[in-house]
Amino acid sequence: MRAAVYRRFGAPEVVQVEDVAIPTPGPDEVLIRVHASTVSAADHRTRSGEIPKGLRLLAGFSIGFLRPRRPVLGMDAAGIVEAVGSRVTRFRPGDEVIAMLGARFGGHAEYALISQNGGIAAKPANLGFADAVSVVFGGITALAFLNRVCTGPGNRVLVNGASGAVGSAAVQLAKHRGAHVTAVTSAAHRDLVLGLGADEVIDYAVSDFAANGELYDVIVDCVGNAPFERAAASVRPGGALLLVVSDRKGLFGAARQSRASGKVVSVASVPYTPESMAALSRLAGSGVIRPVIDRTYPLADIVDAHRYVDAGHKAGSVILTLA
């Protein structure tokens, strides 16, 4: 099969399209014929080694220390089940699925493996493969973080980095739950976030949300520049700071900061389960989380896709097509 392979960390050019063996599913695994994946912020971080401060050593156990542990990137996939292992009961060949492969990666290839007990669910029937995969990485993350708090009518939610894959899903979810949503983004993405349902927009080049005296019930930081020290004063007493990105200090300080401040400070990664993916699939199928696609690249142009994502200003998802 054709796959985008990288054997050392570095610039986009370390990725090359090669022929590699089609993986064989183990007893609990599902082999997906991948039709579309995305090139995500996680692919950028993993390939380039641009890991939040103080976390490179910890990340090394997952991504590799001297060279990549897993040669094919791609955290998500939408496609058709090609084959299943002997113990798989939930899927069969021919099923159309979406999958969050997570730290195991492998979506930038014509075939990818995932456990039937991992982040895999039926694809929404009303979405094509590209639209369906576009909601996976950001949607599953936004859903998991927002599920850690109660957001509803009367709540004020601020999403920092509202135009990205996670931010655009967080805006839509918070709005769906009835919250008043403030989106922090650049002028270029103002109309996009308003179209997703944001009630107010703050242009981060013009105004600092953490210094405008406003209070929010929930702040979701999808950028990594709103740690507790900067953003906590803008969270109402009893409210929550959801740090989708955090460095070592943020990761290990969150529990203590929660206890000391009486505000929920939530960090860390997201578990990918069949249940969470099924919930995401329903939200996407019913139009609550709509696809936001910036650009689409064929597998042959994988280096250009990485270059574009490296710039850090994509809106929603960058799609990679494999079929």
**Selected range binding ligand NAP among 14-22, 104-112, 184-192, 282-290, rule: CB under 6 A:** 184-192
Locate 247 and state its tokens: 């460095």
Across 148-183, b (16+ Cβ under 10 Å) vs e yields ebebeeebbbbbbbbbbbbbbbbbbbbbbbebbbbb
Work out the burial of residue 301: count CB atoms within 10 Å of its CB; fewer than 13 is exposed, 13-18 middle, 19 or more buried.
middle
Residue nearest to ligand NAP (CB): 164
Instruction: Report if residue 143 touches ligand NAP, rule: CB under 6 A.
Output: no
* Of 115, 185, 234, 266, the one binding ligand NAP by CB under 6 A: 185
Q: What share of the chain is helix, strand, coil (3-state, %, to 5)?
A: 35, 30, 40
Does position 166 bind ligand NAP by CB under 6 A? yes
Residue 102 lies near ligand NAP (rule: CB under 6 A):
no
155 is a site residue for ligand NAP (CB under 6 A): no
Q: Is 186 in the site for ligand NAP (CB under 6 A)?
A: yes
Q: Which position has the token pair 């953003």?
A: 231
Instruction: Work out whether 218 is an interface residue with ligand NAP (CB under 6 A).
Output: no
Footprint of ligand NAP on residues 262-291 (CB under 6 A)?
Answer: 269-270
182 in contact with ligand NAP (CB under 6 A): no
Positions 29 through 88 that interact with ligand NAP (CB under 6 A): 40-42, 45
Q: Residue 311: is it exposed, middle or buried by C-beta count within 10 angstroms (0-12/13-18/19+)? A: exposed
Output 16 or 269, the one with its CB closest to ligand NAP.
269
Cβ distance to ligand NAP smaller for residue 111 or 209: 209
- Cα dist from 283 to 75, 169, 195, 315, 316, whole Å: 20, 10, 17, 20, 16
Tokens of 88: 């798989």
**H or E element at residue 160:** strand 156-160
Please count the residues of this chain forming the interface with ligand NAP, following the rule CB under 6 A.
31
Other beta carbons within 10 angstroms of residue 211's beta carbon come to 10
Contacts of 60 (CB under 8 A, 6+ apart): none
Query: Is 245 an interacting residue with respect to ligand NAP (CB under 6 A)?
Result: yes
Q: Is 267 helix (H, G, I), strand (E, B) or coil?
A: coil
Q: What is the DSSP letter of 109?
A: B
Residues 21-40, interacting with ligand NAP (CB under 6 A): 40
Listing DSSP states for 164-212 in one string gives BHHHHHHHHHHHHTT-EEEEEE-GGGHHHHHHTT-SEEEETTT--GGGS
Examine residue 231 and tell whether it contacts ligand NAP (CB under 6 A). Answer: no
Give the distance between the most distant pair of CA atoms in the chain. 59
Question: Which member of 16, 24, 147, 225 binds ligand NAP (CB under 6 A)?
Answer: 225
The binder of ligand NAP chosen from 49, 90, 176, 204 (CB under 6 A): 204
- Give 90 or 296: the residue with its C-beta nearer to ligand NAP: 296
Q: Which is nearer to ligand NAP, 83 or 173 (CB)?
A: 173
Of the candidate spans 20-28, 53-61, 162-170, 276-284, the one that interacts with ligand NAP by CB under 6 A turns out to be 162-170
Does the protein bind ligand NAP through residue 141 (CB under 6 A)?
A: yes
Please give the residue ranges that form the binding site for ligand NAP (CB under 6 A).
40-42, 45, 138, 141, 160-161, 163-167, 184-186, 188-189, 204, 222-225, 244-245, 269-270, 312-315
